[in-house]
């Protein structure tokens, strides 16, 4: 069905101007003399060069750069240069305008930022097989000028907000990249508001059912919650003002994504998530009174409501690495419900919401330089390139996106490490030489092994020995990229020495067997012993794993080897898969029908069943795996290996059964298990594979593995199980 689009060009012109004026209003606070003219010039250039282009929605393309510039100004707090760059961010990529044109009109700095934006515009191109390598490129620009990444985040946010017109497979791809890389990056740059919105938008496309479910639940109790917050806040507000503090006290809902995370992490239903919102106390304090005022407010809150002693977080005294400062406490509310209270000043709040740009604005008055350190770390990592781009990406995510812990040296200096870091990581952080010779550590004066996982606040002293050298298994002990790359290069060096030695030995052995020592023969030998490289061959010889008699054996079978050639498995490719798909839908893999021709398995990580939203992933040697789009691994797979993904759907006529799990909780009642199994096997004729039940003081908690046909079948079963007396919750889980 096609609907005719009638465009009123005059009205559109008016709308464009209206949006442009809104952008000017949003950037007003940062505008200086001459800035308005610069922005106008950029707007005119963008308008002219994009004039014949439209977005997927049919809207004029110029709406997009205006919106990106507005996000940059309003939500990230960037200034004129960035607004100009945001307006022009797509012109070099998509129109006839060149970088030289930009430089001539707007100067070097602007041209450099736009060059950075253009270079990384293809980073997550669907056709690109090297996303990880490209991500590295993107980070290189970050080390150059952070504004490139900030504008890129604004660009991504606007694209995510307007993704409804994209085809489904593109939505999945873009949402996956967003949750995998952009949201953590926004988090690391301290852009909490943007991070939360990116996460929610990703979830809306990757896991629409859960998203809608939680949104609906949140909406149902909205009025009740508002009432509760009002009552909770009233006395705080009153006393805070009585004591002469100027403060804004309000309730703030948590994001859908963070609620869902909590449900998964704690394995609890929506009803048991207590912190659906947080209370914020935003103080208007002079810089020198900030800390005292925050603790004053803390004291007021905890006089009114009893605090949970385990849940005090003081990021006022030691801010987080991304610059976040705030005082968090969780208190018992009037209805016996835990409530999180966040206390901070307006300055801290602006940093919390807008991150990086705000951080710079207050830089002179702030003694925290966590973000500078972070950028410094990014530079360091980029200078230590990891041969394997994917490893690099993993290390990077692990190190730079994860939460940090603070560790003290014996002299009391503070060292920041990623959560999960070990004593060995700490040793390498101090000095490569200390790491390489580390044999143990004293943590808070107690002796611990090198693999000891450090806790926030530990004081660590490293014990070394000149006899020690880095070992292969150390790679499993450390988590920081720095330690990993140092260990690897040391092992490599070690291996090279061994290989040199092995090479000499092999040369002698071959001579004694009258085999010519040349590249060709060395290659053949490597194949014969099924080794990855000639270096491996030399190492094996040096270590005595390959001896003279083994080489003799090779001589005996040499003819075979030549005719047979080295064994190399044929790699399955997406094209091979597509050539085997023969259905009316073109490039959609029909699970069931196509499967007689194509080797497939259902991924064990998410156990998809018919009815689930799925995709196919072409593995190198194990055929196609079918994953759910909300599989915990999906985002990683789609973001990094988009070129291996094939669209897939279930064939309706399937009469097969699939294994899935149900968790049933309730009040233990006589005959409860009987009633549950009756519904499953008698009423629904579903086969059970296993059943485990825990009863504890009257609470029933059971896991049942069953075989079902599809999601409809499963949902029906869940509905009926919920009707059993005593059952309070039934949820599906992946084995």
> What are the residue numbers of the active site?
93-94
303: left (phi over 0), alpha (psi -120 to 50) or beta: alpha
Q: β-strand 727-733 against 658-667: which pairing, if any?
A: antiparallel
> Considering the complex, what minimum distance in angstroms separates the CB of residue 520 from Mn ion?
53
Question: Of 122 and 334, which has the nearer Cβ to Mn ion?
Answer: 122
* Separation in Å, CA 223 to CA 85, 254, 639: 43, 16, 39
Q: Which residue is nearest to Mn ion (CB)?
A: 155
* Separation in Å, CA 703 to CA 22, 262, 692, 696: 56, 20, 5, 14
- State CA 608 to chain mean position distance: 23
Question: Of 117 and 281, which has the nearer Cβ to Mn ion?
Answer: 117
Can you tell me the distance from the alpha carbon of 676 to that of 437, in angstroms, rounded to the nearest whole number? 60
Binding mask 85-124 for Mn ion (x = CB under 5 A): -----x----------------------------------
Question: Of 68 and 297, which has the nearer Cβ to Mn ion?
Answer: 68
Binding mask 73-92 for Mn ion (x = CB under 5 A): -----------------x--
Tokens of 220: 């149902």
Question: Of 155 and 368, which has the nearer Cβ to Mn ion?
Answer: 155
Question: Of 183 and 589, which has the nearer Cβ to Mn ion?
Answer: 183
Can you tell me the distance from the alpha carbon of 534 to that of 506, in angstroms, rounded to the nearest whole number? 11
Can you tell me the distance from the alpha carbon of 638 to that of 635, in angstroms, rounded to the nearest whole number? 5
> Considering the complex, what minimum distance in angstroms separates the CB of residue 642 from Mn ion?
19
Tokens of 143: 């080390």
Tokens of 160: 């995510």
Of 148-156, 219-227, 431-439, 485-493, the segment contacting Mn ion by CB under 5 A is 148-156
Which residue's structure tokens are 């393309």?
61
First to last CA, the chain: 43
Question: Of 85 and 481, which has the nearer Cβ to Mn ion?
Answer: 85
458 binds Mn ion (CB under 5 A): no
> Considering the complex, what minimum distance in angstroms separates the CB of residue 90 from Mn ion?
5
Binding residues for Mn ion, rule CB under 5 A, total 2
Can you tell me the distance from the alpha carbon of 263 to that of 257, in angstroms, rounded to the nearest whole number? 10
Can you tell me the distance from the alpha carbon of 580 to that of 594, in angstroms, rounded to the nearest whole number? 8
DSSP per-residue string spanning 548-604: HHHHHHHHHHHHHHHHH----PPPP-HHHHHHH--STTSS-EEETTGGGTS-EEE-T
Can you tell me the distance from the alpha carbon of 425 to that of 474, in angstroms, rounded to the nearest whole number? 10
Question: Collapsing DSSP states into helix, strand and coil, what is residue 48?
Answer: helix
Question: Of 155 and 350, which has the nearer Cβ to Mn ion?
Answer: 155
For residues 346, 349, 351, 355, the Cα torsion angle rounded to the nearest 10 degrees is -150
> Considering the complex, what minimum distance in angstroms separates the CB of residue 17 from Mn ion?
21
> Considering the complex, what minimum distance in angstroms separates the CB of residue 665 from Mn ion?
47
Q: Which of 35, 75, 155, 429 binds Mn ion (CB under 5 A)?
A: 155
Can you tell me the distance from the alpha carbon of 123 to that of 134, in angstroms, rounded to the nearest whole number? 5
- Answer whether 369's CB lies under 8 Å from 323's CB: no
> Considering the complex, what minimum distance in angstroms separates the CB of residue 53 from Mn ion?
11
Can you tell me the distance from the alpha carbon of 118 to that of 462, in angstroms, rounded to the nearest whole number? 46
Can you tell me the distance from the alpha carbon of 644 to that of 332, in angstroms, rounded to the nearest whole number? 50
Question: Of 155 and 177, which has the nearer Cβ to Mn ion?
Answer: 155
Question: Collapsing DSSP states into helix, strand and coil, what is residue 669?
Answer: coil
> Considering the complex, what minimum distance in angstroms separates the CB of residue 128 from Mn ion?
17
> Considering the complex, what minimum distance in angstroms separates the CB of residue 155 from Mn ion?
4
> Considering the complex, what minimum distance in angstroms separates the CB of residue 71 from Mn ion?
11
Question: Of 63 and 474, which has the nearer Cβ to Mn ion?
Answer: 63
Q: How many Cβ atoms from other residues are within 10 Å of residue 261's Cβ?
A: 15
| Binding residues for Mn ion (CB under 5 A) | 90, 155
């Amino acid at each position: 069905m096609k609907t005719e689009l009638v465009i009123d060009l005059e009205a559109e012109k008016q709308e464009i101007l209206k949006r442009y004026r809104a952008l000017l209003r949003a950037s007003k606070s940062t505008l200086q003399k001459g800035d308005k003219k610069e922005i106008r010039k950029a707007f005119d250039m963008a308008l002219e060069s994009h004039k014949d282009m439209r977005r997927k929605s049919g809207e004029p393309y110029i709406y997009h750069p205006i919106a990106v510039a507005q996000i940059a100004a309003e939500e990230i707090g960037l200034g004129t240069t960035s607004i100009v760059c945001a307006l022009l961010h797509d012109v070099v990529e998509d129109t006839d305008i060149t970088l030289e044109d930009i430089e001539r009109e707007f100067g070097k700095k602007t041209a450099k930022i736009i060059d950075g934006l253009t270079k990384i515009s293809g980073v997550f191109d669907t056709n690109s097989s090297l996303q990880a390598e490209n991500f590295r490129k993107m980070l290189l620009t970050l080390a150059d000028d952070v504004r490139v990444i900030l504008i890129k985040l604004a660009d991504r946010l606007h694209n995510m907000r307007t993704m409804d017109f994209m085809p489904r497979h593109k939505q999945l791809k873009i949402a996956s990249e967003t949750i995998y890389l952009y949201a953590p990056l926004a988090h690391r740059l301290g852009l909490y508001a943007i991070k939360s919105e990116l996460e929610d938008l990703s979830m809306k496309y990757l896991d629409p059912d859960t998203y809608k479910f939680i949104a609906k639940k949140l909406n149902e109790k909205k009025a009740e919650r508002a009432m509760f917050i009002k009552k909770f806040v009233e006395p705080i507000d009153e006393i805070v003002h009585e004591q002469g503090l100027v403060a804004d006290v309000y309730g703030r809902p948590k994001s859908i994504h963070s609620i869902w995370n909590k449900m998964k992490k704690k394995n609890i239903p929506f009803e048991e998530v207590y912190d659906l919102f947080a209370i914020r106390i935003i103080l208007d304090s002079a810089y020198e009174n900030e800390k005292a005022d925050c603790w004053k407010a803390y004291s007021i809150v905890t006089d009114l409501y009893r605090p949970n002693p385990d849940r005090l977080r003081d990021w006022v005294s030691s801010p987080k690495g991304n610059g976040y400062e705030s005082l968090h406490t969780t208190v018992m509310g009037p209805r016996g419900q835990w409530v999180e209270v966040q206390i901070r000043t307006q300055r801290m709040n602006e940093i919390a919401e807008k991150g990086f740009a705000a951080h710079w604005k207050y830089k002179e008055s702030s003694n925290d330089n966590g973000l500078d350190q972070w950028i410094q770390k990014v530079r360091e990592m980029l200078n230590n390139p990891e041969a394997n781009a994917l490893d690099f990406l993993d290390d990077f995510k692990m190190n730079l996106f994860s939460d940090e812990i603070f560790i003290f040296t014996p002299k009391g200096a503070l060292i920041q490490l990623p959560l999960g870091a070990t004593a060995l990581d700490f040793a390498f952080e101090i000095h490569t030489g200390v790491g390489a010779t580390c044999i143990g550590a004293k943590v808070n004066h107690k002796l611990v092994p090198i693999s000891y996982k450090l806790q926030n606040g530990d004081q660590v002293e490293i014990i070394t020995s000149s006899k020690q050298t880095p070992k292969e298994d150390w790679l499993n002990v450390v988590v920081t990229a720095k330690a990993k790359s140092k260990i690897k290069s040391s092992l490599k060096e070690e291996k090279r020495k061994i290989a040199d030695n092995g090479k000499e030995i092999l040369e002698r052995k071959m001579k004694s067997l009258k085999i010519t020592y040349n590249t060709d023969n060395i290659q053949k030998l490597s194949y014969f012993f099924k080794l990855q490289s000639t270096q491996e061959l030399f190492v094996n010889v040096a270590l005595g794993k390959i001896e003279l008699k083994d080489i003799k054996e090779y001589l005996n079978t040499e003819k075979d080897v030549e005719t047979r050639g080295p064994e190399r498995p044929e790699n399955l490719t997406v094209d091979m898969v597509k050539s085997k798909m023969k259905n009316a839908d073109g490039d959609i893999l029909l699970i069931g029908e196509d499967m007689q021709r194509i080797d497939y398995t259902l991924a064990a990580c998410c156990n998809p069943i018919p009815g689930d939203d799925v995709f196919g992933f072409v593995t190198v040697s194990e055929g196609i795996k079918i994953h759910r789009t909300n599989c915990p691994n999906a985002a990683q797979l789609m973001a990094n290996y988009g070129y291996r993904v094939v669209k897939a759907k279930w064939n309706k006529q399937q009469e097969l059964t699939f294994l899935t799990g149900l968790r049933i909780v309730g009040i233990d009642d006589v005959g409860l298990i009987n009633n549950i199994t009756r519904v499953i096997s008698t009423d629904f004729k579903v086969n059970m594979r296993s059943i485990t039940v825990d009863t504890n003081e009257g609470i029933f908690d059971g896991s049942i593995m069953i075989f079902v046909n599809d999601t409809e079948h499963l949902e029906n079963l869940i509905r009926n199980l919920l009707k059993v007396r005593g059952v309070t919750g039934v949820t599906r889980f992946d084995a």
